[in-house]
Amino acid sequence: MLADIKRYLQNRGPVCLSDIALHLGATPDATRGMLATWIRKGKVHLQQVDAGCSSQCGKCQPDSMEFYEWVAGGKSGS
């Protein structure tokens, strides 16, 4: 699964947690745990967006406001 996450992020660029979880067929919490491994290794960067828009309506799902990006050496880094 970790290798699948790596390939997915390398090919897609910044991706929200819910899309990664959907791709893996896993829950957002399980996916977040796998991503934590790559974050600890310095290969993935997490960017959380504070709000989806200026209205602060609260309708945006938290998982769609959490973006992950592969940062280690671009598309060929390991």
Other Cβ atoms within 10 Å of 66 Cβ, number: 20
- Is 57 a residue whose pLDDT tops 80? no
Which CATH number is associated with domain 2-71? 1.10.10.10
pLDDT band for position 12 (cuts 50, 70, 90): very high
Phi/psi for 33 (5° steps) reads -65, -40
Using CA atoms, how far apart are residues 68 and 16, in angstroms rounded to an integer? 6
Digit-coded pLDDT (tens) for 30-53: 999 999 999 999 999 999 776 555
Q: How far apart are the first and last CA of the chain?
A: 15
pLDDT for the residue numbered 33: 96
pTM of the model: 0.76
How high is the mean pLDDT of the chain?
A: 83
Sequence ranges of the domains in the chain: 2-71
pLDDT for the residue numbered 62: 57
